[in-house]
Structure 1
């Protein structure tokens, strides 16, 4: 694993549900570092300045804390959601890593089939 892969906070756009590796125009918030599809996050910012990240798989009932506490507290501004130079490199590294995982899964599946 390279050092850049660890800086991708969310693997899917919280607004589209698409994996970040499939976004047409990925952008990252300078404030909270979350990644979004540019066109969709710009529409979101027009109606709300809050980051749409809601805390992922964490649930407030299991943690016994208010659900608002699970949200990203950062506010978004259109001029602070950008395609920084490192983002495209990080996404490309993630794509390569995913391809390697897929090859290994396929190989293991074939080996299991042969053993059966």
Structure 2
């Protein structure tokens, strides 16, 4: 049998799940540098920076995808600008608290 090639080893690293540490480093890096380097280039330094922190090496595109798919959604769910009058879910919008109290008593 042949020894595992470096490419296969790298593929295993890429398949590792994203950690909160990685996401935290990505958020800090993007928010710190986006104004100076711009959105298109802000992800290019991430693989090197995260490797120094002991995180798995991934293609630059994966960092961009993780930002767009997971991190942005998480940030928007926290800081999305919902007003207090905006219901948190469609079920809460369908029934008011007063109506529920009348049905219970």
Q: Same fold (TM over 0.5)?
A: no
Which TM-score bucket, shorter chain as reference? under 0.3
Determine which structure has the larger strand proportion and give its number: 1
Normalized against structure 2, the TM-score is what?
Answer: 0.26
Determine which structure has the larger helix proportion and give its number: 2
Instruction: Report which of the two structures shows the higher radius of gyration computed on alpha carbons.
Output: 2
Normalized against structure 1, the TM-score is what?
Answer: 0.25
